[in-house]
A and B are shown apart, each in its own frame.
Chain A
Amino acid sequence: MKRFLARNSPLVILAGLCVVLAVLSEDFRSPGNLQTVAYRTSVVGVMATGQCLVILTAGIDLSVGSVAALSGVIAALTIKAMGADVDSVPGLPVYAAIGAGVLAGTLIGLLCGAINGLLVTKGRIPPFIVTLGMMMVARGITLLLCKGVAVSGLPDAFGYLGGAKGWYIPVSITAALSAAFAMALALTRFGRAVYATGGKLSAARLSGIPVDRVRLFAYALCGTLTGFAGVMLASRTSIAAPNAAEGMELNAIAACVIGGASLVGGEGGCLGALAGALIMNVLVNFCNLKNFDVYWQMVLVGVLIIVLVYYDNFRKRRAGLIKED
């Protein structure tokens, strides 16, 4: 029991936090509020799922914020290029344009992720540097593509993906993606290879795991998920802004770490990352509802993140899940 709790402590912390906040605030526990927090987390939740795969292989992807903005803009431009805009009559051509937009946005994410992965594995450049470069390149290209102006005037139906027409759509997509990747990590050979690669690279290589291919896959998947998340973000705000998701890479990384991932790799999981993203958004939501001073809000969230990670490590250590070295 103790072991189970320790292993899933991010989920336990999330549940505990929600109970405490629900007692403290009537507004917080209203179903409408829980829905908005859930659907608001979908973008960073999907990003954190991808980021988690990379962190598990002892890598890091700093480019996700910029890549998300690029994907959103590509999706929006594709939709408009196919002749669909805010005035078009809903029908097959509009849905086809939206489908093409979502696909184009996701694929550009895959492309960026694959480039990151190739540079890390074949180029032997540290992930930190590769993705830092990609962060700037993707943001620059985004600004170039839309000449600094947000792309607006998107068809109404594009709003479905981000939850403008129903909170449950992005929430169920996020839950499904997170669950699928959690299962893939736990049950497939690829999943075990990811953990082994992050645990000890040389040992994994010696035991015949194609570590380069595993890492390439992790970055490519992270890029793909990020691309999709970027499209969701554009859909949510019904505008593709070139400065969207700025700094969101840190939220995604923080979500993974709060969710129990170790930045040296081999430890953590997708469900934890999603729980981590929810923990952060729940805290901010509570502060907003209570109209806390914005400066105190930052202090409070920062302190709580550190305390939660400390508590998580403390429990794991007590349950013997972390080996000291």
Chain B
Amino acid sequence: MKHAMMVLLILGTLAACGQKPAEPPSGSANKEAATQTSLTAGARRQLDIAVIPKGLTHQFWLTVKAGAEAAAKEFGVKIVWQGPAKETEVDRQISIVEDMISRKVNAIVMAACDENALIGVIKKATDAGIPVVTIDSGVKSDIPVSFVATDNIAGAKAAAQALAQLIGKEGKVGLIPFVSGAGTSEMREQGFKEGIAAFPNVKLAATLYSQSDAAQAMAVTEDMMTSHPDLKGVFAASEPSVVGAAQAVKAAGKAGQIKLVGFDASDKEISDLKDGTIQALVVQNPFKMGYEGVKAAVDCLQNKPVEKRIDTGVTVVTMENLNDPEVQKLLYPR
């Protein structure tokens, strides 16, 4: 009996782990709101465009939202912003896309949580006459009208070059990607490895994953410093990875000694750049992703030609160019 209960509890625990945050209540209030939206859409012929990020946290996605809103204002369309709470909630994202199809939005702009799992539902949307534009993270399919994103391989190559220069083109470096198997993470890993290969005296000593969690990133950075006391540099491939790696380097009293290059530019990352813990940040342009994504969707709906691949580019930000007006605009878009 006791054993049976224990097994049940463990199973239950596992099930709980897969639980998702509660859906918004689908009561009459919601229905009313929906009717109202379709009414106004009918009256003003305003287009509804769903923008679906991979996660709702992280400044990155909020900047994407700001870009999408700017485009919405410019082109007179309405943005429906809805996404999974966490980047790993693939199933939740699929149901959000399904809901958007049922809701008959005019177009969908989305960053895919998984490069394969979302193909089915994207095809379903396209079949229903709803064009899909992917931003930041695409899918392995030609169905989307356009893919608007950073060239992550080129961005990580730029990071590798910056890091190699910082350590005088020789010595051991470490790499912290975020989730093994996720498209963006894999591309940055690949790009960094390709970039570092151009420097024969720079050796990639360790590759450890942060699971997009600052505490985890801190732990793996500490472990890297332990197993390679002569470590000269680290490349952290996402915002939480950078925050954790910076904290570990700082706690070990090695700030400035171990060169740190990171991806993205949250407030915390910028302050670590200013205090000398981080030497360079590879900054994407999430504002442009949101903007160009919505613009591509609007163009497609108006039968204008849309490019299949739109690169939003990266900028390597260091203390030298931090105060340039162009860089400031990139770092503080709102």
Residues in A lying within 8 Å of B, measured CB to CB: 27, 30, 32-33, 36, 40, 43, 60, 62, 86, 128, 132, 135-136, 139-140, 143, 147-150, 152-153, 159, 163-165, 233, 236-239, 241-247, 250, 253, 262-264, 284-285, 288-291, 294-295, 325
Contacts and interface: CB of A to CB of B under 8 A. Distances in A.
Interface string B96-111: 0000000000000000
Contacts of A149: 57-59, 62
B215 A244 contact: yes
Given A288-B220, A288-B223, A153 B208 contact: no
A183 to B, nearest CB: 28
Nearest to A242: B57
Nearest to B21: A136
24 contacts: A30-B226, A32-B226, A36-B222, A139-B21, A148-B58, A148-B61, A148-B62, A149-B58, A149-B62, A150-B243, A150-B266, A165-B251, A239-B268, A241-B57, A241-B214, A243-B86, A244-B214, A262-B2, A263-B10, A285-B219, A289-B223, A289-B227, A294-B180, A325-B2
Nearest to A27: B227
Query: Which of B224, B226, B247, B266 has the most chain A CB atoms inside 10 A of its CB?
Result: B226
Contacts of B2: 262, 264, 325
A288 B9 CA distance: 31
B197 interface: no
Interface of B: 1-2, 5-6, 9-10, 12-13, 16-17, 19, 21-22, 55-59, 61-62, 85-86, 180, 206-209, 212-215, 218-220, 222-224, 226-227, 240, 243-244, 247, 250-251, 266-268, 271
B268 A250 contact: no
Contacts of A135: 16, 19
A40 B213 contact: no
A152 B268 contact: yes
A171 B56 CA distance: 34
A247 B88 CA distance: 12
Given A153-B267, A244-B214, A291 B208 contact: yes
A250 B213 CA distance: 16
Contact of B22 (A33, A140, A284, A290): A140
B16 A132 contact: yes
Contact of B222 (A40, A136, A148, A245): A40
Contact of A152 (B207, B251, B271): B271
Given A241-B240, A263-B10, A325-B1, 13 more contacts: A27-B227, A36-B226, A148-B62, A149-B57, A149-B62, A152-B266, A153-B271, A164-B250, A245-B215, A285-B219, A288-B220, A294-B180, A325-B2
B93 to A, nearest CB: 16
A163 B251 contact: yes
A247 B17 contact: yes
A298 to B, nearest CB: 10
Contacts of A132: 16, 19
Contacts of B22: 136, 140
Nearest to A247: B17
Contact of B208 (A246, A247, A288): A288
Contacts of A140: 21-22
B6 A262 contact: yes
B85 A143 contact: yes
A26 B12 CA distance: 40
Contacts of A43: 215
Given A236-B215, A291-B208, A250 B17 contact: yes
Nearest to B228: A27
A143 B6 contact: no
B206 A291 contact: yes
A60 B6 CA distance: 12
Contact of A239 (B19, B214, B223): B214
A264 B7 CA distance: 10
Contact of B13 (A60, A143, A295): A60
A270 B251 CA distance: 29
A62 B268 contact: no
A237 B251 CA distance: 10
B226 A27 contact: yes
A40 B244 CA distance: 13
Contacts of B59: 149-150
B207 A291 contact: yes
A82 to B, nearest CB: 19
Contacts of A147: 62
Contacts of B208: 288, 291, 294
A27 B223 CA distance: 9
A238 B215 CA distance: 10
A40 B267 CA distance: 25
B48 to A, nearest CB: 23
Contacts of A263: 5-6, 9-10
A62 B240 contact: no
Contacts of B247: 164, 236-239
B256 to A, nearest CB: 16
Contacts of B244: 237
Contacts of A237: 214-215, 218, 243-244, 247
Nearest to B5: A264
A250 B9 CA distance: 12
Contacts of B215: 43, 233, 236-237, 244-245
B51 to A, nearest CB: 15
